[in-house]
Amino acid sequence: MRLKNLKYILALLGLISTFNIAQSQEMLGLTMGNYKGITGVMINPASMTTNKVYLDINLATANVFLRNNFAYLPKEDFVIWDLLDKNYQFPTYGEEEKNVLYYNNSKAKQITQNTRILGPSAMIQIGDHAFGITTGVRVFTSGNNIPWNVAEFGYWGLDYGPLHNIDFDEKNIDFGSNSWMEVGLSYAYDVWKYYDQQLTVGLSVKKLWGYAGAYVYSDKLNYLVPNDTTIDIKEMNASLGFSGPINYDNSEFLNTSPTFRGSGVGMDIGVVYVKRRQVELNKWNGERLCAQNIVDYDYKIGVSIVDIGRVKFKENAQEHQFDEVSIYWEDVDTLQFNNANSFLHELSNTFYGNPNASYVGDNIKIGLPTALSIQADFNLRNNIYVAGFFIHPLRLNKSTLRRTPQLAIIPRYETKYFELSVPISLYDYNYPRVGIAARFYFITIGTERLGTYLGLSDMNGMDIYASIKIGINKGSCKERFGGACDNNNFGNNILRRKR
């Protein structure tokens, strides 16, 4: 792919990330089953040796996830399938003909967007070892603890009387966005086997190339709006940084700038414990990869930390700091800004009396959406499984992107050629969801927001993922060589436990 074409692809993904009001963030239908192959490393790199495939080639996998808890379209007025109707007219609300409604409550507002494309990637297992290589492009946006009053002023404008003359004191507001390309190498090793038990460790190391990024953080914002032309900022501490393919003096796209303005390193680490259903007596003899033994298990439990690392932007980057500033700012309704530099110069001059005083550096660092994850999978009988999934963000600094916490139970039916799972999850520990994912041999499609597509829930986000992969199963020698390996127990004399 030429760099020119890559620029436009990354620009398009960056544009997608701006549509915050447009949910699987973790693609549970692709990362929890026994045929997950290389896609499993996105959650736990140690999972590579516990698959039913020894070779897995990902041709293309894509995930689009958006969610916010402020603005929405009522389910009575909009279903996502309406987008297929060329004559459909979006609804408007109120005298001002707003395009969306909002949840009228005093909860802190959040925005999460995750677009992930897993490009050509592959894994292979050779005995106790497994190796993987991944390529991909990611765009991740998170806004957290956004004050409800700030969101409502954004919706109505400063002339919204019900919020006038109220002293608002807000803390720990953050917003961040990052788009990057990554190439990773993964390794997993069965470090311990004892009768019917197995322990595997795994590691992924990824080289990151940053395309664009930005963050805003404020640990203190005390303000009051007396009328529609004035903001009384009594105290504010804030920092912000950004880097992108934009001329900050005229807002034009920089066609001649470097494709990537930042770089970094990312890492995932994990461990998986397997309680086998059988005691392995004869190990794989190392002659045919297709004759490797399938791990039939009662249950397996994994623990991992994913997306450790950051991207440092050094090209076309700015960082600004506002420490304990205050201002009674009149006539704000007359201000007009055509570019980023004019806006920041005005802010700096207003707070410090100097248009350049807020500028503190020409590079920024944005942390990946680091998270702790725990996975469990229980083999019931007759191809029926029940998995459990937990993920919680680990924020290492103010510019670390925040992955939204999630709890899920995923019952599934699984065979070589067909798989159906129904994730039942609790998003951000507050919002219940039901999804569905289906695999037809090498094609998978799924969502964790089924209600969005059935018209059962308001439109405050969306989620869909799909994958095309080629996998070669363990015990598949019969198919290719005419041997006896199609029997799962071929080459593996076993001692079955009594039940």
pLDDT for 15 equals: 38
Q: Which residues neighbour 265 within 8 Å (Cβ) at sequence distance 6 or greater?
A: 205, 206, 207, 208, 309
What integer pLDDT is reported at residue 284 of this predicted model? 82
| pLDDT digits 0-9 by tens, 127-179 | 999 999 999 999 999 999 999 999 999 999 999 999 999 999 999 999 999 99
The ranges of the chain with pLDDT < 70 are: 1-25, 282, 478-499
The pLDDT score that the predictor gives to residue 256 is 78
Residue 33, pLDDT score: 92
> pTM of the predicted model, to two decimals?
0.88
pLDDT at 478: 66
**Total tally of structural domains belonging to the chain:** 1
Q: Which of 344, 357, 351 is nearest to 326 (CA)?
A: 351
The span from the CA of 284 to the CA of 464, in Å, is 39
Check residue 475 and give its pLDDT. 84
Predicted pLDDT at 16? 35
Give the count of alpha carbons within 13 A of 304, CB side only.
33
Q: What CATH number is given to the structural domain containing 146? A: 2.40.160
Domain that holds residue 334: 3-22+25-496
In this prediction, residue 452 carries a pLDDT of: 87
- Token pair listed for 320: 């600004």
